[in-house]
Amino acid sequence: MKKTYARLADGREIIYFDESDDARRRLLDSRDLVSTAPASEIRFDPLRREWVAMAAHRQGRTHLPPADDCPLCPSDADRRSEIPSDSYDVVTFENRFPSLAFDPGAGEGVTDELSSRQPGAGRCEVLCFSSEHDASFVDLSPSRVRTVVEAWSDRTQALSGMPHVEQVFCFENRGQEIGVTLHHPHGQIYAYPFITPRTQRELDSAHRHRERTRRNLFADVLAAEQRDEVRVVRRTEHWTAFVPAAARWPLEVHLYPNRHVPDLPALTDAERDDFCHVYLDVLGRMDAVFGQRVPYVSAWHQAPVRFQRDLSYLHLELFSIRRAAGKLKYLAGSEAAMGVFVNDVLPETTAHRLREAV
C-alpha cells in the first residue's frame, strides 16, 4: 500500500491510501478556501457525568447535495471537490466541519463542579471508501476492504499519538434514515479528548468482572456465545459474528476477533484478511433480510489510548434501525428519555434470519 500526504487549500491534511505503488495523485488543491480554525467546546454534564461537544459551526455543513455536486467525488476539469485528485482508492482528510478540532492556543478552559468547560481538542476525519459515488461498502471487493482496514489501523495509530487524544473511534453511517448527509460511500474517524461514556461504562463492568473472576469480560461473553451457538451468524478461524443476547436493535451483529487484542493496529495480517470476507458476508446478509439496503451504523470499539487497555477487547458493533420492511425503530420515550431499550424482535430470531439470508 502506498500513502501520499498533502494539504488542502485551507491547510487541512489529506492522505491517499493506494493499492498500487505506481499510483499518482493530483495533490494541488486550487480552490480559493479561507483557512479557518473551527472552535468546538466540550461541556461536562454533572448529572450523567458525561462530556457533550458543542460545535455551532456545523450548522452550515453540506446537506444532501446532488450527485454532480458531491464534495467526496474526485475532482475534474469542471468542478473541484474536497479530493483534488481525479481518482483515488481510499482517502482520508480532516473534516471541514469537525465536531472536535485541535487548537493548541484555545486555553485551559474552566473547571467547576457544576459547569466544567474545555476546548474540544480532538480531531475528526472523513474516510472515503471508493471514488464511485453510487457504491456502498457491501459493494467493495475484499482487497478494497483490506485497504480500508489498513487506513483504519494507520489513522488509529497516528491519532493516538496526538496531544489530548484519549480514544479513537472509526465508524460508518449508511442511509438517509440514520442521519447521513452525504450519500457517497464514506465513514468517519473521531479522536476524542476523553473516554466516551459507553466505553467507560463497559470498562467499569470489565473491571468488576476481572476482580471477581480474574478473567476478561469481553472474552467470556464471546466464549459464551460460541458455546451457545444459537445467536452465532458466522464463525471462522479468526472471527465470530453473533447477535448479542441483549440486543437493543432489531438488526444487530457484533464481530469479535477470536484472539484478544486491544485495537485495530494489533490485528495480524491473517486476521485482517479474514475480517474482509466475514464483514462483507454479514453486510450482505443484513441487506438480504428485508430484500433492500438497510440503514446502519457500523462502529469499532477500541481500547482507550492509555487507560485500562488490558480490560478492552477490539470488536465491531453493527446495527440497523430497520425492524421490518417499510418500518423503522425510533428511539421514543423509554429509549430516548430513560435509556431503556425495548426490542420488538428476539435476538435468536434475528440470528436465524441472518443465517438463512442469501
Please identify every residue annotated as catalytic: 186
Quick one: 167 and 213 in the same domain? Answer: no
Average pLDDT value over all residues in the chain:
94
Phi, psi of 217 (to 5 degrees): -60, -45
Question: Is the Cβ–Cβ distance between 247 and 310 less than 8 Å?
Answer: no
By CB atoms closer than 10 A (0-12, 13-18, 19+), residue 239 is buried
Percent of the chain past pLDDT 90, that is, above it, reads 84
pLDDT tens digit sequence for 260-306: 999 999 999 999 999 999 999 999 999 999 999 999 999 999 999 99
Q: 169, 194, 219: which is the final residue of a domain?
A: 194
pLDDT tens digit sequence for 100-135: 986 655 556 777 778 788 888 899 999 999 999 999
Query: Is-above-0.85 flag for pTM?
Result: yes
Quick one: 151 and 220 in the same domain? Answer: no
DSSP string, 178-228: GT-S--SSEEEEEEESS--HHHHHHHHHHHHHHHHHSS-HHHHHHHHHHHH
Residue 57 has a pLDDT of 84
pLDDT tens digit sequence for 34-79: 887 777 899 999 999 999 999 888 888 888 899 989 999 999 988 9
Instruction: Quote the CA–CA distance of 220 and 198 in Å, as a whole number.
Output: 19
DSSP string, 125-193: EEEE--S-TT--GGGS-HHHHHHHHHHHHHHHHHHHTSTT--EEEEEEEESGGGT-S--SSEEEEEEES
Amino acid at 125: E
Helices 347-356/269-290 angle, 10° precision = 100
Question: Is the Cβ–Cβ distance between 53 and 41 less than 8 Å?
Answer: yes
Which CATH number characterizes residue 313's domain? 3.30.428.10
Instruction: Quote the CA–CA distance of 305 and 107 in Å, as a whole number.
Output: 23
Quick one: 68 and 178 in the same domain? Answer: yes
For residues 229-258, average pLDDT? 98
Q: 159, 177, 194: which is the final residue of a domain?
A: 194
Quick one: 168 and 282 in the same domain? Answer: no
Quick one: 294 and 205 in the same domain? Answer: yes
Number of domains in the chain: 2
Beta carbons within 10 angstroms of residue 358's beta carbon:
6
- Helix, strand, coil % over all residues of the chain, rounded to 5: 30, 25, 45
Quick one: 106 and 247 in the same domain? Answer: no
Give SS3 for 327.
Answer: strand
Residue 106 has a pLDDT of 58
Residue 105 has a pLDDT of 57
Q: Which range of residues forms the domain containing residue 106?
A: 2-194
Phi, psi of 324 (to 5 degrees): -165, 165
Quick one: 161 and 39 in the same domain? Answer: yes
Quick one: 157 and 267 in the same domain? Answer: no
Quick one: 161 and 258 in the same domain? Answer: no
Quick one: 237 and 202 in the same domain? Answer: yes
DSSP string, 328-353: E----IIIIII-----SS-HHHHHHH
Q: 124, 159, 194: which is the final residue of a domain?
A: 194
Quick one: 216 and 178 in the same domain? Answer: no
Phi, psi of 148 (to 5 degrees): -65, -40
Quick one: 211 and 133 in the same domain? Answer: no
Q: Which residues pair with 5 in a beta bridge?
A: 15
Percent of the chain past pLDDT 70, that is, above it, reads 98
Cell of 94: 480532516
pLDDT for 179 beyond 80: yes
